[in-house]
Every structure is written in C-alpha cells, then in structure tokens.
Amino acid sequence: MNAPAPRLFAFDNTYVRDLENFYVRWKPTPASKPSLIRLNAGLARELGADPALLAAPEGVEALAGNRIPEGAEPIAQAYAGHQFGGFSPQLGDGRALLLGEVIDSHGRRRDIAFKGSGRTPFSRNGDGKCALGPALREYLVSEAMHALGIPTTRSLAVVATGDMVRRERALPGAVLTRVAASHVRVGTFEYFAAHQGPEQVRRLADYVIARHYPELAASAQPYLDLLAGIAERQAELIARWLGVGFIHGVMNTDNMTISGETIDYGPCAFMEAYDPATVFSSIDHNGRYAYGNQADIAQWNLARLAESLLALIDADTDRAVARATELLTAFPERVAVHWLAVMRGKLGLDDSGQAGEDSQLAEDFLALLQAGKLDFTNAFRALYDVAAGNPAPLQALFGDAAGFAAWRARWQARQPHRPDALLTAMQRANPWVIARNHRVEEALAAAVDRMDLAPFERLLAVLQNPYAARPGDIAYTEPAPAEVTACYQTFCGT
Ligand code: AMP
Ligand code: MG
C-alpha cells in the first residue's frame, strides 16, 4: 500500500500545476519485497537529498513506489510518437511515472521519475514493468554518457521489486529512478497537435520556453525560434554521439527530448570497429537507426515537431511551412558544424584550419578505420597517444596499412605543435574506455543470473572516469571478440 513517506526531496511540481489535462494522476504499483540494488549518492546530493535517507528502509520503500514521498504528485504523462516512421497517436507513460520536480544544487529544475512502476492508463497491452537487466543497463550507459560529458538523463537508483517479470523467460523486476531536465518529448507535442489543437500546443510550447529556452520569452517569433533552439541542441547532441560511437538504437520521436538530453537507453550500444552502417537493435531490420543515419533521423523527427508547431509559427500555413522548411533544411549544416568541432577535438586540431580541409582529414581517417575494420575508440585514443609522445599504439593498430603513412604525414603537417591546452582538449575528446557491449552484457548477466553485482560496480567505476588511462583497467579497453560482435543484438527494454 502507498503509506506516507518521509520528506526525501523538496518537490516543486510545475508540470502538474501548469499543464492540467496533459497527464493522468496515477500511483505506482507497490513492490512485494523491495531491495536497493544501486543508489547514485552523488546525484542524490546534487538533488538536495540525503543518500543515507534514501538508502534506509523508508527511502527504499519510496524508491520502489510503495510510499509516495512527501510533496510528490505522481503522474503518467501523455504523448504520441512516430515509431520506425509510423505514427502512434497514443503512447504515453505506460511503465513510467513522473514523481515531481526539484531544483538541484546548480539551480536547475530536474524531473524525478520512475520506470517500471506498474501499469498506467497508457499501458495498452504492456505490464508496466521493467526487468532488472534493462534497468541496470540504463543506469550504466546513462552514467557512462554523463561521464563522457554528453547531455543525458541520469540514473538515481535501481531497486529490485522482489516480483518476477514475464519476458521470454521470467526475470527479476526492478524500478529505475530516472532524473531528467524534463520528460517533454517531440512526441508530447505530437500528442497535443493530434488530439487537441493549437491552443493546447501553445500552452505546452510556452511551458517549454519558460523551462528550457527562457531566452526566447521576449522573441518576436518565439515558436519558430523554439524549433530552431531545439534543432540546434539536437544537432550538437548527435555530433557528440557520433564522436563517441554511440548508437541510440530507437530514435522514435517519443524518445527525443525537447531539452536536448539523450533519453531512453533501450537497445543503445557503442560501435567498436568503425562502420557507419552499424546497427545492433534486434528490431531495426532496415538499419533505420544505424550509427551513420542518426543525423538524418534527427532531422526527420524535427520535421514531425515542426508539423506540430505549424499553426503557432504562422497563421498562414504556406508561410509557416516555408519558414520551418528553411530552418530544417539547414539542419545537416548545423550537424556538420558541430561534427567538425568534435572531430577537431579528436584529431587535436586548433580551429585555425580551413573547415573543408579539416573535415576531409577526419573523413579520410574514418575511411582508413573502415577499410581496416579498426576499433573507433582505440584508434582515436592512439592518435592522442602519438600527440602525447607515444606512437606505439597507433603503429600497432595500423602497421603498414595502405594510405596510413600518407594520412599521418598530412595530420602532422596540419598541427605540428600542440600547446598543453590543445593536448588536454584532445584527451577529453578521445575516451580511453567506453561501455563495450560484451562488458555490459557480462555485468548484467552476473547481476541477473547470480545476483552478483561486483562486475556491474566494477564496470560502472571504470566508466565513471573514461578519459584517464589506467593500466590496471586495460582489459576494459579491449574490443569484443569478433564473433561476439558479429551476432551482438540489443533489445528494447520492455
Ligand atoms: P519505449 O520503446 O521504451 O520508448 O516505449 C514506447 C512506448 O511503449 C511507451 O509509451 C512506453 O510507455 C510503452 N511501454 C514500453 N514498455 C512497456 C511495458 N512493459 N508496459 C507498458 N508500456 C510499455
Ligand atoms: Mg520511450
């Protein structure tokens, strides 16, 4: 039952207050025997919460949904979405609940939400639950992305429910507590555009401007500028993903935030050998969400957002379409600008070079990686090693591969000297370690099959410090055996 709980967070819930009709008030389904699997103490403190209170029995009861913390007003949010290109008018929080919002220690408003807390009015045929493996996977990968400096939702806690979840086999159930700048998605706009019309879309847009784009409040064309602002954050986000080999895996419009954070770590994975066609998701048969397609898909998703905003952009539909189209046509160029900045960082180039030439230098390096089926992360890190005075790893990777010596000579000529600041930036652009698929699977299997959390904790610790080389952790930098990668598949966390 949902007994009252201690005051864990200083909730202040604007979504509930300002946007009635945009959600359904709902309660989590209590767990039969909650136990804390993982608590993010640092994030808890950032949110103004006491980690010891959260880890105490009453805190764990709250993190399982058995007690509603004081000040929380749990809701299931309504949203729609284009999934693999087809429109689903009614998605919504089918296994998630927003508990409420807090202001963190940096003054930022953050959502605190559950995933796996039981059925809601949006559950359709789903059970509203989350298995322990996918919850730990989201925890691991979202925290890894955060450590890489990439905007992302965070993971505050994983609690095992003590109940089993039916999937292909019976699996232990869990509740993940997710923290986000907000959970407003492209699909949230699509829902209200499809079901309620422009005035409700305007309320949502005004809410989003106040919360995420306050600088637009005084704009003469706030809704077009909002589209531009969202597109700009997405352009940068995608470029950052590309820079670490991240493949989201299910870039449906309901999985694209308005805030510019990465959200929904279902079938995501990191690429090892460089190939833009890389796709791991078991349900992505046509490679729609492959590594190299992500910028195109983001643009496609933004076009769906633009359609939802048209009536706000201009009362004259033709004019609204023309303005939105002009803006979105420039999206690939915006991604290219951010991509070049990412690649300059990775190659250790200052920004004195000619953009076209630097882009070509990056493209040519990627072509060498693809031809040699070389590991993306390790190859770039080896470039950093060269710059830092150790040419051995790069030589070991490329040997006398055709074209490599010529490329290396061009690279060296382009930036013969790197001042300390540039070298530091280069290190920060080239992680030493990423969440490699076989390591993630190994950690989750130990947790789920044997309740052994040691590999998970160990991997998490390694991923929380991705830029510094540590000889003792070298095994975590090794790519998966080729036969593992060849048949590696990820699954939606349902
Ligand atoms: P996702 O693929 O996780 O982005 O989810 C897409 C939609 O399916 C969202 O509306 C989810 O709330 C819903 N959903 C996913 N898994 C479940 C589940 N186990 N039970 C109910 N709804 C679910
Ligand atoms: Mg989703």
pLDDT in tens, 125-144: 999 999 999 999 999 999 99
Catalytic one among 254, 264, 284, 385?
254
Q: What is the pLDDT of residues 173-215, one digit of tens each?
A: 999 999 999 999 999 999 999 999 999 999 999 999 999 999 9
> Is 254 a residue of the active site?
yes
Mean pLDDT across 237-246: 98
Q: Kindly give the residue spans of alpha helices, DSSP state H, lying in 78-131.
A: none
What's the domain count of the chain?
Answer: 1
The answer to whether the pTM exceeds 0.95 is: yes
Residue 144: inside a domain = yes
Residues with CB under 5 A from ligand 2 (ion): 255, 264
Structural domain boundaries enclosing 14: 3-184
Residue 191: inside a domain = no
Residue 177: inside a domain = yes
Q: Which one-letter amino acid corresponds to residue 310?
A: L
- Where does the pLDDT of residue 337 fall: very low under 50, low under 70, confident under 90, or very high at 90 and above? very high
Judged on CB neighbours under 10 Å (0-12, 13-18, 19+), 436 is buried
Residue 22: inside a domain = yes
Residue 176: inside a domain = yes
Residue 271: inside a domain = no
Q: How far is CA 188 from CA 92, 239, 242, 312, 483, in A?
A: 8, 24, 26, 16, 41
Residue 109: inside a domain = yes
Provide the b/e sequence for 31-54 (b: ≥16 CB within 10 Å).
beebebbbbbeebbebbebbbebb
Distance 303 CA to ligand 2 centre (A): 19
Mind spelling out the 3-state secondary structure of 283-296? CCCCCCCCHHHHHH
Q: What is the pLDDT of residues 312-322, one digit of tens each?
A: 999 999 999 99
| Distance between CA atoms of residues 251 and 309, nearest Å | 20
Residue 124: inside a domain = yes
Backbone angles phi, psi at 84, to 5 degrees: 50, 35
pLDDT of 1 > 90? The answer is no
Specify the pLDDT at position 483: 77
Distance 130 CA to ligand 1 centre (A): 10
